[in-house]
């Protein structure tokens, strides 16, 4: 989990501030030679940040022998020579088990994202809007557990799951991810919900709505930005996770894409035609999620950690 | 096809299960007399979440601490022996030294790069600012395993005389060097630094997003005032902006420190901890799976917990202070 708490901020405060200033007039626009240096520095950084991934992407479409006999950058000499491009690598790696792993990853990730959100949303509602003995104690516990290393859980959980015959099953990973993601989920959602206007909840109560109704009809719709932010976090986290999958799921029938890729690196470390295509198959879903929902993701990050 | 159907069933069962659970619990509570309903309902709402936290974090945490005083099979009490063995283990000491390097360099460099991009991109037109930031931020979506594969290809080695396919060796040989097996060079812990590059590459975007938000929150008046007083842009940056975003810098640093403590994936995939690149979190996996030394593995976890306690206390304090406002 990558977010450390500071005092809660209303999601969107940052955006309002930015909008108030007006997008078209950046404050510190320099000019002349200084600006040239800025541009060069940024271009250099952007290159370092993209070239490695780009090289992998290009290589994944090259023939096996071509990858090994010349650097991927040589394709720019004749990029339009279509005979050098191939989809064979993808076909081979998908048939070799990556397709099955891809489906397993979806089966692991979707419930492991939705289950903690629901449970956390209920808890967040109670923490934000109900008064009860022990409330502060439980919430402080949540805050404390935000940074606990996941490793604490593995040895006892392996045994506990073993007793129920859960090791190696999807249920084991769902449960584990639900537990591990819970502190951040409760923390983010509670901070968001408690920043919602008091009057809305009060008026619902006056109208005779039960807590259950207020929660479903009011809280959930109003909290969509925070729910989306956490959903993206958790989705990326679970999809990209190696550690939890390695320990509770392992290889074989139920292996997920990260495990499949790690095993390819281990067993076929020099077969770059397999590795490059395999790596891209593991990355495609997170990249789509990231690009389509980047706005929510950034909001979630800032809401979780920036002081208001 | 069977797999997809099974998957769908699993998804529906998992998600449906939790919904039904809440619906049932709530239906039961609403049948209680009013007074009891109000008393019990909050606990029903927080119940499943707290149950999950209890079963998957609190209980195992306590168990792990206890197990760290037991032997490999967790049957016999051995006192502090696991800890003594770990302290005396040269492999672990080497791993510990690497961890210190990781903790010193990764968070700092990620913050420096993140800050650099945040400040510089702020001067571009909004469209280019967005593009630049997306490029730096993008690796956040990539898994440690994926990133390790990407960088493994950058560091790839081919025998001298053949064409180099890894870009690092290609550049190196273009300048007249012999092709190097980079990840096996532990002189001055070069390979550890090359592994750190991967994590910095992954985390700089995180630092940038938070720092950029903080910088945009710095009031214009303070900057204008400094300009009127004749301060240079660099002076403004160090004397006006940095102090105002100090708390965010601390948050970013601690977040990445915590991440670094737990990171094992990169080392596990790239070198398996060989060539003096081991880190403590990877030792844990080795003790657990390769040696089946449950007691020693537990002792390593206890060390990790102790390392996170200061951050825990800091978090609770900031949270309390925030609530009191």
List, for residues A61-70, the tens digit of each pLDDT value: 999 888 888 8
- The whole-number pLDDT of residue A74 equals 87
Query: Which residue do the tokens 């923390």 mark?
Result: A187
- The whole-number pLDDT of residue A31 equals 57
| Residue range B21-38: mean pLDDT, rounded | 86
| Range 141-160 of A in CB contact (< 8 A) with B | 141-157, 160
- The whole-number pLDDT of residue A241 equals 93
| Residue range A12-18: mean pLDDT, rounded | 45
Report d(CA A6, CA A22) in Å as an integer. Answer: 28
Q: Percentage of chain A surpassing pLDDT 90?
A: 41
| Residue range B152-160: mean pLDDT, rounded | 92
Using the predicted structure, report yes or no on whether residue A1 has a pLDDT greater than 80.
Answer: no
- The whole-number pLDDT of residue B245 equals 92
**Count of residues making up chain A:** 308
pLDDT tens-digit map of A169-193: 888 999 999 999 999 999 989 988 8
- The whole-number pLDDT of residue A12 equals 43
Q: Write down the pTM of the prediction.
A: 0.88
- The whole-number pLDDT of residue A181 equals 92
| Residue range A65-78: mean pLDDT, rounded | 87
- The whole-number pLDDT of residue B146 equals 94
Choose the mutation target among B5, B40, B52 for the interface with A, i.e. most A CBs under 10 Å. Answer: B52
Choose the mutation target among A93, A108, A148 for the interface with B, i.e. most B CBs under 10 Å. Answer: A148
| Residue range B82-110: mean pLDDT, rounded | 92
Q: CA torsion sign, B8 to B13 to B18 to B24?
A: positive
B154, closest residue in chain A (CA to CA)? A52
Query: Any idea which of A207-216, B173-182, B192-201 has the lowest mean pLDDT?
Result: A207-216
Paired with A62 in beta bridges are A85
Query: Alpha helix locations (H) across chain A?
Result: 13-21, 33-60, 64-69, 88-93, 99-129, 135-145, 154-163, 170-194, 198-206, 211-214, 220-222, 224-240, 243-248, 257-267, 272-305
The fourth-level CATH superfamily of domain B87-324 is MetI-like (1.10.3720.10)
Q: Which chain A residues contact residue B123 at CB under 8 A?
A: 26, 28-30, 35, 38
Choose among B254, B248, B147: nearest CA to B200: B147
- The whole-number pLDDT of residue A296 equals 81
- Please provide the CATH number assigned to the domain covering A87-305: 1.10.3720.10
| Residue range B142-166: mean pLDDT, rounded | 92
- Per-residue confidence band for A28, with pLDDT thresholds at 50, 70 and 90: low
| Range 263-282 of A in CB contact (< 8 A) with B | 265-266, 269, 272, 275-276, 278-279, 282
Report d(CA A161, CA A170) in Å as an integer. Answer: 12
| Residue range B142-165: mean pLDDT, rounded | 92
Mean pLDDT, chain B, integer: 90
Report d(CA B316, CA B325) in Å as an integer. Answer: 14
Q: Do A157 and B154 touch (CB under 8 A)?
A: no
- Per-residue confidence band for B58, with pLDDT thresholds at 50, 70 and 90: very high
Using the predicted structure, report yes or no on whether residue A26 has a pLDDT greater than 60.
Answer: no
Residue A120's SS3 state is: helix
Report d(CA A279, CA A269) in Å as an integer. Answer: 12
Beta-carbon contacts of B319 under 8 Å, excluding residues fewer than 6 positions away, are A5, A6, A7, A140, A143
- The whole-number pLDDT of residue A210 equals 83
- The whole-number pLDDT of residue B102 equals 95
pLDDT tens-digit map of A253-292: 889 999 999 999 988 888 899 999 999 999 999 999 988 8
Residue A233: C-alpha distances to residues A286, A299, B59 (Å) = 10, 11, 25
Domain extent listing, chain A: 29-80, 87-305
| Residue range B199-207: mean pLDDT, rounded | 94
| Residue range A128-139: mean pLDDT, rounded | 92
Determine contact, residues A148/B61, Cβ cutoff 8 Å. yes
Choose the mutation target among B31, B122, B143 for the interface with A, i.e. most A CBs under 10 Å. Answer: B143
CA distance A211 to chain B (A): 9
- The whole-number pLDDT of residue B263 equals 84
Using the predicted structure, report yes or no on whether residue A21 has a pLDDT greater than 50.
Answer: no
Span between the terminal Cα atoms of chain B, in Å: 56
Q: Do B141 and A283 touch (CB under 8 A)?
A: yes
**Count of residues making up chain B:** 325
Report d(CA B139, CA B148) in Å as an integer. Answer: 12
| Residue range B251-276: mean pLDDT, rounded | 90
| Residue range A9-20: mean pLDDT, rounded | 44
Burial (CB count within 10 angstroms: exposed 0-12, middle 13-18, buried 19+), residue B178: exposed
- The whole-number pLDDT of residue A298 equals 78
- Per-residue confidence band for A303, with pLDDT thresholds at 50, 70 and 90: low
pLDDT tens-digit map of B273-311: 899 999 999 999 999 888 888 999 999 999 999 989 998
| Residue range B71-79: mean pLDDT, rounded | 87
| Residue range A82-106: mean pLDDT, rounded | 90
């Amino acid at each position: 989990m990558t977010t450390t708490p500071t005092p809660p901020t209303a999601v969107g405060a940052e955006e309002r501030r930015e909008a108030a200033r007006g997008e078209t007039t950046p404050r510190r626009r320099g000019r002349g030679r200084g600006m040239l240096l800025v541009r060069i520095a940024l271009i250099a950084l952007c290159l370092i940040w993209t070239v490695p991934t780009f090289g992998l992407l290009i290589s994944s479409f090259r023939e096996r022998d071509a990858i090994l006999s010349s650097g991927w950058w040589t394709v720019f000499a004749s990029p339009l020579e279509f005979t050098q491009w191939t989809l064979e690598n993808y076909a081979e790696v998908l048939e070799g088990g990556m397709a099955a792993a891809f489906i397993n990853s979806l089966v692991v990730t979707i419930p492991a994202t939705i289950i903690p959100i629901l449970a956390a949303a209920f808890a967040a509602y109670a923490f934000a809007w109900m008064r009860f003995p022990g409330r502060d104690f439980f919430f402080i516990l949540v805050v404390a557990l935000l940074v606990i290393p996941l490793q604490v859980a593995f040895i006892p959980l392996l045994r506990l799951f073993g007793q129920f015959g859960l090791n190696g099953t999807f249920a084991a990973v769902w449960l584990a991810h639900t537990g591990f993601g819970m502190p951040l989920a409760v923390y983010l959602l509670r901070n968001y919900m408690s920043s919602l206007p008091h009057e809305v909840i009060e008026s619902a109560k006056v109208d005779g709505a039960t807590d259950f109704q207020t929660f479903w009809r009011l809280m959930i719709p109003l909290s969509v930005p925070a729910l989306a932010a956490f959903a993206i976090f958790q989705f990326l986290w679970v999809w990209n996770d190696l550690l939890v999958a390695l320990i509770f799921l392992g290889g074989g029938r139920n292996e997920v894409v990260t495990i499949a890729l790690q095993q390819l690196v281990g067993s076929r470390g020099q077969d770059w035609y397999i590795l490059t295509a395999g790596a891209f198959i593991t990355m495609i879903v997170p990249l789509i999620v990231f690009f389509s929902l980047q706005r929510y993701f950034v909001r979630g990050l800032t809401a979780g950690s920036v002081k208001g | 096809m069977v797999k997809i159907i099974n998957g769908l069933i699993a998804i529906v069962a998992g998600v449906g299960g939790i919904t039904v659970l809440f619906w049932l619990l709530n239906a039961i509570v609403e049948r209680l007399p009013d007074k009891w309903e109000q008393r019990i309902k909050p606990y029903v709402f927080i119940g499943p979440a707290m149950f999950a936290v209890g079963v998957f974090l609190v209980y195992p945490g306590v168990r792990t601490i206890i197990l760290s005083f037991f032997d490999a099979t967790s049957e016999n009490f051995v006192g502090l022996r696991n800890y003594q063995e770990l302290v005396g283990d040269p492999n672990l000491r080497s791993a510990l030294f690497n961890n210190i390097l990781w903790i010193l360099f990764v968070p700092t460099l990620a913050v420096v790069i993140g800050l650099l991009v945040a400040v510089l991109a702020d001067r571009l037109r909004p469209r280019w600012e967005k593009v630049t930031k997306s490029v730096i931020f993008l690796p956040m979506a990539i898994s440690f395993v994926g990133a390790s594969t990407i960088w493994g290809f950058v560091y790839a080695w081919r025998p001298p005389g053949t064409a180099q396919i890894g870009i690092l060796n290609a550049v190196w040989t273009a300048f007249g060097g012999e092709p190097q097996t980079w990840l096996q060079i532990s002189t001055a812990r070069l390979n550890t630094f090359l592994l750190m590059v991967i994590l910095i590459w992954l985390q700089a975007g995180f630092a940038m997003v938070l720092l950029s938000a903080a910088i945009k929150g710095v009031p214009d008046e303070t900057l204008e005032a400094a300009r009127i007083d004749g301060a240079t842009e660099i002076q403004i940056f160090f004397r006006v902006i940095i102090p105002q975003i100090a708390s965010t810098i601390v948050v970013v640093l601690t977040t990445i420190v915590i991440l670094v403590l737990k990171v094992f994936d990169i080392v596990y995939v790239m070198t398996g901890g060989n060539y003096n690149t081991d880190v403590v979190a990877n030792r844990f996996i080795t003790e657990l799976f390769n040696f089946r030394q449950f007691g020693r593995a537990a002792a390593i976890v206890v060390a990790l917990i102790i390392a996170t306690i200061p951050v825990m206390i800091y978090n609770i304090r900031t949270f309390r202070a925030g609530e009191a406002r």
